[in-house]
Amino acid sequence: MNLFLYNLIISLLLPFALIRLLYRGLIQPEYLNFWHERLGWYFRKDSVWSEKNTLWLHCVSVGETKAALPLIKMVIKDYPDINILLTHGTLTGRRVAIDYSDRIHRCYLPFDLKWAVKNFLDHYQPRMGLILETEIWPNLIDQCCSQKIPLFLINARLSEKSLRSYAPYKKIISEALSKLKHIYVQSTIDKINFSNLTEQPISIMGNLKFDARPPEDIAQKTHKLKAQLKIKKEFVIVVSSTRDGEEAVILKLFKKINLANALVIIIPRHPERFSEVEKLFDSYQLPYRKRSDLKNLISCPHYVLGDSMGELYEYYGLASLVIMGGSIKNFGSQNIIEPMLLNRPIAVGPSIFNFKHIVEISQKEGLVYRFRGMDELEEIILQLMNAEDLRKRIAIKTFNFIERNSGASKKILQLINQYF
């Protein structure tokens, strides 16, 4: 596939993308906010951009945005003349709270249409662009190259599964990657996989997510939630960011083992699935409370549906064990670093292709438990329930592991210094 054919396909898909956006907006009106940005239409020029000293960071969703926060704080502190343009691809990414500065502006990245991305770049005129992880948009990269805007892929990762999925489009992907200034990857595995697509320079920078830190008020918020849930000495199991089909498997397990003195909190990854998971609790006849409705709670419940947004750290703060969603069914797992930042024991299922490197090295360090099926997960739960000393040892090892792997943000700051 070449760029001409790609543009033809993208143009034909545009009506369907707009219909999908409208449909989601009917369900959740917030999706329609700033719809014009998706098309590269802007109604005014913010005065903050008048000096044309703009650093552009693209963080498609929640994980990338949180990973970029330490870097953003460093730039705000160390470079008083730099303005930051922060773009997103999802509503949840745009919702991530940031300590606002009048030097930070947020908007949606437009669809990858040539005229839309050209309007975007003409409007904001960034001096430099940093795209987090693996957002490869041929028109966007091509326009940056045409306008001589240095563009870098940072914190990049590429699983073997993603590499295989790129095979039919290797020509256009390789062409796009060749127009980047440099690719900074998380691990050796990522470097090998990217080298199958491009001859561009590739360097290992580590993972920005190790530089993230929990919110400063996390202890206070966790204490408040603990009091609301009437938690005393319960063993708290947080099943985080679950995907379709995983809740049923988990609930079946807990109904079978019927743990005494335990609280199980299940947090679906996507808010639109909250009601679906609520029906699952009902179908398994398990007594539960919703996080959004804890009124008149007398004692700690056995099950809680985490139907709230932006509280993952609070849930992790409560956890005696975190079970990673996305790893039970074939979704490739979710990011394990956030619960690691709070030094929590973690159990991960068989599907890890999105985070293979970090899961495997954490497992070797004795920080992460792996399970292939529910019988093995049951053994892990029962082992940790009766081993407080073991949980403390894991916490200490996890803290030391995080400290050893921090520092990627400083490497990117040195890169920024070359252009500002």
Q: DSSP letters of 390-408?
A: HHHHHHHHHHHHHHHH--H
CB 110 within 8 A of CB 119: yes
pLDDT of residue 26 exceeding 90, the answer is: no
Q: What is the reported pLDDT for 211?
A: 94
pLDDT of residue 46 exceeding 60, the answer is: no
What is the average pLDDT across 94-120?
89
Q: Please give the CATH architecture assigned to the domain spanning 218-405.
A: 3-Layer(aba) Sandwich (3.40)
**At which residue do the structure tokens 């290797």 appear?**
170
Instruction: Grade residue 174 by pLDDT with cuts at 50, 70 and 90.
Output: very high
Distance of CA 251 to the CA centre of its chain: 25
Which residue intervals of 79-155 are DSSP H helices? 91-95, 114-124, 138-146
Of the CA atoms within 13 Å of residue 120, those in its CB half-sphere come to: 29
Q: What is the reported pLDDT for 50?
A: 58
Instruction: Grade residue 12 by pLDDT with cuts at 50, 70 and 90.
Output: very high
Q: What is the reported pLDDT for 100?
A: 65
Q: What is the reported pLDDT for 243?
A: 97
Q: What is the reported pLDDT for 181?
A: 96
Quick: pLDDT tens for 217-233: 999 999 999 999 999 99
Give the residue from 375, 377, 370 showing the smallest Cα distance to 333.
370
Measured CA distances, 313 to 107, 348, 394, 400 (Å): 25, 18, 18, 20
Instruction: Grade residue 260 by pLDDT with cuts at 50, 70 and 90.
Output: confident
What is the average pLDDT across 260-283?
94
- For the chain, the structural domain boundaries read 42-206, 218-405
Which residues fall within 8 angstroms of residue 28, CB to CB, at 6 or more apart?
91, 272
Considering the domain 42-206 in this protein, what is its CATH number? 3.40.50.11720
Query: Residue type for 170, please?
Result: K
From the CB of residue 175, how many other CB atoms can be counted at a distance below 10 Å? 17
Instruction: Grade residue 44 by pLDDT with cuts at 50, 70 and 90.
Output: low
Q: What is the reported pLDDT for 318?
A: 97
| This prediction's pTM | 0.83
Q: What is the reported pLDDT for 62?
A: 87
Q: What is the reported pLDDT for 45?
A: 58
Buried/exposed 340-357: b ≥16 CB within 10 Å, e otherwise: bbbbbbbbbbebbebbbb
Report d(CA 72, CA 303) in Å as an integer: 37
Q: What is the reported pLDDT for 102?
A: 81
pLDDT of residue 121 exceeding 90, the answer is: yes
Report d(CA 148, CA 162) in Å as an integer: 29
Question: Are 42-206 and 218-405 equal in CATH topology?
Answer: yes
Which residues fall within 8 angstroms of residue 247, CB to CB, at 6 or more apart?
239, 266, 268, 277, 280
Report d(CA 131, CA 338) in Å as an integer: 21
For the chain, give the mean pLDDT: 93
Q: What is the reported pLDDT for 49?
A: 59
Percent of the chain with pLDDT over 90: 81
Report d(CA 152, CA 179) in Å as an integer: 9
Instruction: Grade residue 4 by pLDDT with cuts at 50, 70 and 90.
Output: confident
Residue 176 structure tokens: 């796009």
Radius of gyration of the chain (CA): 22
Instruction: Grade residue 27 by pLDDT with cuts at 50, 70 and 90.
Output: confident
Instruction: Grade residue 28 by pLDDT with cuts at 50, 70 and 90.
Output: confident
pLDDT of residue 182 exceeding 90, the answer is: yes
**DSSP structure class, residue 96:** S
Report d(CA 244, CA 325) in Å as an integer: 10
Buried/exposed 159-169: b ≥16 CB within 10 Å, e otherwise: beeebeebeee
Quick: pLDDT tens for 279-338: 999 999 999 999 999 988 999 999 999 999 889 999 999 999 999 999 999 999 999 999
What is the average pLDDT across 362-381?
96
Q: How many residues does the chain have?
A: 420
